[in-house]
Chain A
Amino acid sequence: MWTEISLNHYLILSGILFVLGAGGFLTRRNLIAVLMSIELMLNAANLLLVAFNRFHPLDPSGQIFALISIAVAAGEAAVGLAIAVCALRLLGTIRTDDMKEMKG
């Protein structure tokens, strides 16, 4: 059980990383840290894609999906950080508690 790495090990590792990312996303109040938690969750999903592809090795669709996901995550980080810089300029803070402008 411990010496043989199966699909379940990868799934559980991915689950742990995703749960950590989701917890950080919900509890952190710094916008930068929230973005980092999103990156953690995206990485957990990527790990799932690659691990499932390892178990169906004839079709590389999982790895291609992971590649596209990496591109999307890079773009997301760039735009998210740009929005954070804009928020700092306009509001003077990046604490998510203090951003109430769009509250209805």
Chain B
Amino acid sequence: MSLPQQVHVKLGVVVKLTAVIFYVMAAVSVASALVVVFARSPMRCAVGLMGTFLGLAGIYVLLHAHLIAVLQVLVYAGGVTVLFAFVIMMMRQGQQMRYPGPFMPVRILSILTLAYLVYLAGPVILEVQRLKEALPDGYGTVRLVGEALFSKAVVPFEAAGILLLVTMVAAISLIGRGAGRKKEGGA
């Protein structure tokens, strides 16, 4: 898929559509990340997390990494967020787990650190490193990434498979162990 590179606006200004999409997606993900960090109820945090994932998926599409974008939506926005939501609903037991907010020295330190970050990042954003527009054929498609994944990165791939198996066993045994004797204390 290819986006039209330039959109002519009536004022004679040429606005690159990719820039508009980038800023929209970046704003969505940063705003959702703010919701994750500052929202009081955990369910709102989960919704914010989903917004961050979807915004980042849009950014991956902008970077021509289509397979990663699809997997981001499937695994993160579809899987991980729903897992979080299920656990939050399971744990809802009256305690709202409210967020009291950081205390004052932390707040002042955060503002100082943020100012320093802006001071550092400001000059960097001014020098534009141009994107290489010439991408090889099929960059980011399932075919190219899959071929590389199964030829030269097959060992990490298998290791990830084993890791997921171990993870599944660990989660099931952790959850299932205390089920029968949950009020006795100690497992």
Contact = CB atoms under 8 A, between A and B. Distances in A.
Contacts of A36: 36, 45-46, 49, 84
B65 to A, nearest CB: 5
Contacts of B108: none
A74 B148 contact: no
A19 B178 CA distance: 36
B52 A43 contact: yes
Contact of A71 (B16, B95, B160): B160
Nearest to B14: A3
Nearest to B138: A60
A7 interface: yes
Given A61-B148, A74-B164, A1 B36 contact: no
Contacts of B121: 12, 15
A53 B129 CA distance: 14
Contacts of A37: 36-37
Interface residues of A, number: 70
Per DSSP, chain A at the interface is helix
A13 to B, nearest CB: 5
A67 B71 contact: yes
B104 interface: no
Interface residues of B, number: 86
Contact of B130 (A6, A46, A60, A75): A6
B63 A50 contact: yes
Contact of B128 (A8, A60, A86): A8
Contact of B52 (A17, A71, A74): A17
Contacts of B52: 17, 40, 43
A64 to B, nearest CB: 5
B40 to A, nearest CB: 10
B132 interface: yes
A32 to B, nearest CB: 5
Contacts of B36: 20, 24, 33, 36-37, 40
In this complex, which of B60, B68, B140 has the most chain A Cβ atoms within 10 angstroms of its Cβ?
B68
Contacts of B53: 43
Interface of A: 1-13, 15-17, 19-21, 23-24, 27-30, 32-33, 35-37, 39-40, 43, 46-47, 50-51, 53-55, 57-58, 60-61, 63-64, 66-68, 70-75, 77-79, 81-86, 88-90, 93-95
Q: Which 10 A-B pairs have the closest CB atoms?
A: A75-B167, A24-B37, A82-B174, A82-B171, A71-B160, A6-B128, A20-B33, A30-B97, A54-B63, A60-B148
